[in-house]
Amino acid sequence: LEAKEEFTHRTLAMDVMRPRRCDPPLTCFTQDGMKVEDVETIISETTYSGFPVVVSKESQRLVGFVLRRDLIISIESGRKRQDGIVSTSLIYFTEHCPVQPPNSPAPLKLRSVLDLCPFTVTDHTPMEIVVDIFRKLGLRQCLVTHNGRLLGIVTKKDILKHIAQMANQDPDSIMFN
Ligand code: ADP
């Protein structure tokens, strides 16, 4: 990923992040309250490489980031090995898992596959800085927040696409500014 400092200093993280203004909201999970079947549906209906995990839909406070492949493997092995993991089992990304009411299915604890420290920038961070961090840390994605609330995601491909788009639209500004 090349740093295109000539143009990125005028572009902010909010200009490159997804979702766009008219897109559906970011697909994320809550740290508790979701069932195995809810997560499986989201996995089958999307192709995203990963999902942010938030405290609650209302707070949108970030807890971590979970990779799609880790979710798939964990659910699969949970269903195979652990007694009682079924479609209606609750998934917990929390540190502690409350005692389940009698006769409810065993919960699936997924804290261990959660990246608790995903890289995050605010929506007003200049893309020049974001690109620099991507290069230095070899990031594949970065989350975007506003006032501590999760707002969006920027992937390496999003940045490359944005650079290509800018080059097509306004080549002079890139070459001579
Ligand atoms: P890539 O950008 O490498 O194809 P993904 O498949 O994860 O990576 O993402 C595809 C597109 O969807 C990107 O534009 C990205 O910003 C966006 N995206 C990634 N994860 C999510 C998510 N959980 N919810 C909504 N959009 C996402």
Strand partners, 141: 155
177 has a pLDDT exceeding 70: no
Compute the average pLDDT of residues 9-23. Answer: 91
Using the mean position of ligand 1's atoms as its centre, give its distance from the Cα of residue 103 in Å: 38
Contact residues of ligand 1, CB 6 A cut-off = 18-19, 26-27, 47-49, 51, 153, 155, 157-158
Q: Is the ipTM of this complex over 0.90?
A: yes
What was the pLDDT predicted at 120?
97
Nearest alpha carbon, ligand 1 atom 17 = 18
137-176, pLDDT tens digit by residue?
Answer: 999 999 999 999 999 999 999 999 988 888 777 555 544 4
Q: Which residues contact 126 (CB under 8 A, 6 or more apart)?
A: 8, 9, 10, 11, 12, 13
Query: Ligand 1, residues 155, 161, 165: which to mutate, most atoms within 8 A of Cβ?
Result: 155
User: 63: which 2 tokens?
Assistant: 């807890």
Whole-number Cα distances in Å, 113 to 69, 72, 89, 106, 146:
10, 11, 17, 18, 25
Instruction: Find out whether 60 and 153 touch, Cβ atoms under 8 Å.
Output: no
What was the pLDDT predicted at 172?
54
Atom of ligand 1 nearest to the CA of 68: 7
Using the mean position of ligand 1's atoms as its centre, give its distance from the Cα of residue 48 in Å: 5
Closest by CA to 163, choosing from 127, 120, 138, 126, is: 127
- The mean of the pLDDT values for the chain is 90
* Global pTM value: 0.91
Distance CA 103, CA 122 (A): 44
What was the pLDDT predicted at 176?
43
Atom of ligand 1 nearest to the CA of 157: 2
86-126, pLDDT tens digit by residue?
Answer: 999 999 999 999 998 898 999 999 999 999 999 999 999 99
